[in-house]
Amino acid sequence: MNLKRVDLKSNGVPRAHLLIIYTGGTFGMTHDKDGVLIPFDFASILEHLPTVRNLGLAFSVFSFENPIDSSNIQPEHWQLIARLIYEQYDLHDGFVILHGTDTMAYTASALSFMLENLSKPVVLTGAQLPITEPRSDARENLITALEIASAKQNGKAVVPEVCIYFDYELLRGNRSKKVESMQFDAFDSGNYPALAKAGVKINYDFTAIRKPSNQPLKLYTRFDTRVAILKLFPGISEEVFQAVLNINGLRAVILETYGSGNAPTASWVITGLRQVIQRGVLVLNVSQCPGGTVLQGRYATSRDLVKAGVLSGADMTTEAAVTKLMLLLGEYGEKVARERIGKDLAGELTSLE
């Protein structure tokens, strides 16, 4: 898996230096002879965006040698992206990642945990329609993402965190979910306000934006992918439930529960969870709801989860929970992961302590 560099010269003296990473996705797709959307080279994309050269910015552009559909994103791609940002960090004022929408929230969440002590923007964006389409949202999304990634106030980055810009809104990356596949407003962060809204001007909510770190950037890249998601639903059978809990080598289970963290009180549910936790598997409770938080013990239907040793994921998204767990397990192991999973590491949850 390789990256290649594409030279992009801007007009005039640049006011900032940005790094663009092109991974693929709908943003840069075209139709093949059968009418199927396939990714094409970033150099071709620039032909559709001549205004980029007039933004007063200098760019370094790296592209996946073989651009991919985001459905094929894997942790090794996150490692590649994060390492590139880490290596290029001191040379650039901000970073823009062009990424397919399907797994963008997973990548944004992962990067937020991999890049500790950020003091510069990392903005992910993409499109619902390819840039080759007349009504494409790609142009506005990219140009505004570049503006946000280069924005400074008193010499410091305005948004020093990993975020997603889409359809006139800037959202915290590890609070985001893809919620729409047929409209342009593809993303939402139900438990956290937008960091900015773009109209005639870009209006930033400075109370919602994380403060920049004055510590050196740290990079974490080790993932343990032996994590499963178990979504509860009326009628789920004991056989299905046990099949997930008894996966060979399983390290952690994200239990997607109802409402504020509720689960069936059937004895085989609680017994199964207690047994898998006793084997050293971490079980994390997150809500199926796009908004709200897990309050284990508030209702009788979640009280037994507490007794069994299930941990609360508070108001984390599933995307944040998955990537955070995989990284904590990979970097530190089960004991530290158990201690830190419920703590706010990168703005991904609201502490209830």
Residue ranges of domains in the chain:
3-219, 227-340
80 Cβ neighbours under 8 A, 6+ residues apart: 1, 3
Regarding predicted confidence, which is higher, 240 or 3?
Answer: 240
3-219 belongs to which CATH class? alpha beta
3-state helix, strand, coil in the chain (%, to 5): 30, 25, 45
Q: Please answer whether residues 216 and 117 qualify as being in contact, where contact means their C-beta atoms are separated by less than 8 angstroms.
A: yes
The tokens 């992910």 sit on which residue? Answer: 124
The tokens 């923007």 sit on which residue? Answer: 121
How far does CA 304 lie from the centroid of its chain?
Answer: 31
d(CA 17, CA 20): 10
How confident is the prediction for the chain on average, in pLDDT? 90
> How confident is the model at residue 11, as a pLDDT?
65
**Token duo for residue 58:** 């200098």
The closest of 186, 114, 142 to 21, measured between CA atoms, is 142
281: phi then psi, degrees, rounded to nearest 5: -85, 130
| Marked catalytic residue, from 23, 26, 101, 318 | 26
* Identity at 194, one-letter amino acid code: A
The closest of 316, 238, 320, 297 to 273, measured between CA atoms, is 238
The number of CA neighbours under 13 Å toward the Cβ of 344 is 11
**Token duo for residue 6:** 């594409």
pLDDT tens, position by position, 289-344: 999 899 987 877 788 999 999 999 999 999 999 999 999 999 999 999 999 999 99
pLDDT at 43 exceeding the cut of 90: no
User: Rg for the chain (alpha carbons), in Å?
Assistant: 21
pLDDT at 48 exceeding the cut of 70: no
Indicate the pLDDT class of residue 1, thresholds 50, 70 and 90.
low
pLDDT at 55 exceeding the cut of 90: no
User: Collapsing DSSP states into helix, strand and coil, what is residue 254?
Assistant: strand
Enumerate the β-bridge partners of residue 218.
116
Indicate the pLDDT class of residue 30, thresholds 50, 70 and 90.
low
The number of CA neighbours under 13 Å toward the Cβ of 91 is 11
Helix axes 267-278, 238-245, angle to 10 degrees: 10
d(CA 136, CA 129): 5
> How confident is the model at residue 53, as a pLDDT?
73
d(CA 19, CA 313): 34
Q: Please answer whether residues 314 and 352 qualify as being in contact, where contact means their C-beta atoms are separated by less than 8 angstroms.
A: yes
Whether residue 26 lies in the annotated active site: yes
Dihedral sign, CA of 287, 292, 293, 297?
negative
pLDDT tens, position by position, 143-202: 999 999 999 999 999 999 999 999 999 999 999 999 988 888 889 999 999 999 999 999
pLDDT at 4 exceeding the cut of 80: no
DSSP-assigned states of every residue in 104-168: HHHHHHHHHHHEET--S-EEEE--SS-TTSTT-SHHHHHHHHHHHHH-EETTEES--SEEEEETT
> How confident is the model at residue 8, as a pLDDT?
65
Q: What is the CATH number of domain 227-340?
A: 3.40.50.40
**Token duo for residue 225:** 């992918």
Enumerate the β-bridge partners of residue 31.
37
DSSP-assigned states of every residue in 173-190: GGG-EE--SSSS--EE-T
pLDDT tens, position by position, 66-101: 888 899 999 999 999 999 999 999 999 999 999 999
d(CA 54, CA 143): 11
